[in-house]
């Protein structure tokens, strides 16, 4: 049984793409596979699984030696289980920059594309292999992942291929893209009952930028005011995480999906200096508005990498 999983802090793509690829291998390629998750899924992914009546994947507790593994939606060892050296990585499907650090004992099938979503790559594989007759719920998971990763085609990461895939898949799934995306984003924007740290870590990655350990968290939401209202507690949470994880810096971006802008929360003077230089903004009252900034991959990380030292 092949184990398929995405990255830690799984988002909709990292949750749904492994499920669909496991279904595909099991049903079309005569290869038994099972999708797993590396942590709690977010509310958007929860909404999507419920809508298409798919059970939440089991949590991957521990990889056993000689497990056969497929990784989707990351190639960064920091976002993966620690004991990958002991397993057999047979395939990697991703759309992020090469992070380096993964090594294997056997050759690996790698499909990496500079497009917005792993689900688009998976749909491309199915099409190239002549297997486009897929169930409505599998198409539903793929189109949801694309809408999530592209923020309904507004993120600068979006390509024509992502759009075309989403439209083809929406047809098969029998969903209206505008309505479905709105429902997904509303589910993701509901912070009720979430602790500050849950919010800070729900979509969060650690980067090594010029030798500094930097955690960059994003909250994509249609209601930024809900997060900003918790600013005091969120800043306290940032301070705690920096100490607990020996981070040099941490930044939290509240991305307003509907208005394509972000509010960055700034906890200390050193982070203030970095943010003002990186984004040419003015930090006041521990926050700054960043018009047009929505993508961690294309807009946030490159600017931070330029300035952090």
Tokens of 54: 């798919």
User: In the bound complex, what is the minimum distance in angstroms from residue 14's beta carbon to Mn ion?
Assistant: 6
Q: In terms of CB distance, is 73 or 162 closer to Mn ion?
A: 73
User: In the bound complex, what is the minimum distance in angstroms from residue 116's beta carbon to Mn ion?
Assistant: 8
User: In the bound complex, what is the minimum distance in angstroms from residue 155's beta carbon to Mn ion?
Assistant: 11
Q: In terms of CB distance, is 74 or 137 closer to Mn ion?
A: 74
Q: In terms of CB distance, is 13 or 263 closer to Mn ion?
A: 13
Q: In terms of CB distance, is 38 or 238 closer to Mn ion?
A: 38
Catalog residues that contact Mn ion under the rule CB under 5 A.
Answer: 13, 73, 118, 149
CA 293 to chain centre: 16
Q: In terms of CB distance, is 162 or 303 closer to Mn ion?
A: 162
Q: Name residue, tokens 């249609």.
A: 222
Q: Name residue, tokens 């990461």.
A: 157
With CB atoms as reference, the residue minimizing the distance to Mn ion is 13
Of 18, 40, 8, the residue nearest 119 (C-alpha): 18
User: In the bound complex, what is the minimum distance in angstroms from residue 228's beta carbon to Mn ion?
Assistant: 26
Q: In terms of CB distance, is 152 or 242 closer to Mn ion?
A: 152
Of 303, 305, 282, the residue nearest 294 (C-alpha): 303
User: In the bound complex, what is the minimum distance in angstroms from residue 145's beta carbon to Mn ion?
Assistant: 7
Q: In terms of CB distance, is 118 or 204 closer to Mn ion?
A: 118
The burial of 70, by beta-carbon neighbours within 10 Å (0-12 exposed, 13-18 middle, 19 or more buried), is given as: buried
Q: In terms of CB distance, is 126 or 266 closer to Mn ion?
A: 126
- Cβ-count burial 203-238 (b if 16+ within 10 Å, e if not): bbbbbebeeebbbbbbbbbebbebbeebbeebbebb
């Amino acid at each position: 049984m092949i184990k398929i999983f995405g990255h830690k802090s799984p988002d909709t793509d990292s949750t749904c793409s492994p499920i669909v690829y496991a279904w595909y291998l099991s049903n079309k390629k005569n290869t038994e596979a099972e999708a797993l998750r590396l942590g709690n899924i977010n509310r958007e992914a929860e909404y999507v699984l419920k809508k298409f009546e798919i059970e939440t994947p089991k949590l991957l507790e521990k990889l056993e030696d000689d497990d056969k593994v497929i990784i989707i939606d990351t190639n960064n060892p920091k976002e993966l289980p620690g004991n990958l050296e002991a397993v057999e990585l047979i395939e990697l499907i991703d759309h992020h920059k090469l992070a380096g650090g993964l090594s294997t004992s056997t050759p690996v099938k790698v499909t990496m594309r500079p497009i917005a979503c792993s689900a688009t790559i998976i749909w491309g594989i199915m099409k190239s292999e002549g297997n486009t007759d897929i169930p409505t719920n599998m198409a539903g998971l793929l189109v949801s992942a694309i809408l999530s990763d592209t923020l309904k085609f507004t993120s600068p990461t979006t390509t024509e291929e992502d759009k075309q895939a989403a439209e083809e898949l929406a047809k098969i799934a029998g969903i209206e893209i505008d309505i479905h995306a709105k429902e997904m984003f509303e589910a993701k924007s509901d912070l009720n009952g979430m602790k500050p740290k849950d919010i800070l870590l729900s979509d969060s990655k650690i980067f090594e930028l010029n030798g500094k350990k930097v955690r960059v968290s994003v909250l994509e939401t249609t209601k930024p005011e809900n997060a900003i209202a918790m600013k005091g507690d969120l800043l306290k949470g940032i301070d705690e995480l920096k100490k607990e994880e020996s981070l040099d810096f941490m930044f939290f971006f509240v991305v307003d999906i509907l208005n394509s802008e972000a509010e960055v929360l700034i906890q200390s003077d050193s982070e203030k200096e970095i943010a003002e230089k990186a984004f040419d903004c003015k930090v006041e009252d521990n926050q700054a508005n960043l018009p047009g900034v929505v993508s961690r991959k294309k807009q946030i990380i490159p600017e931070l990498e330029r300035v952090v030292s």
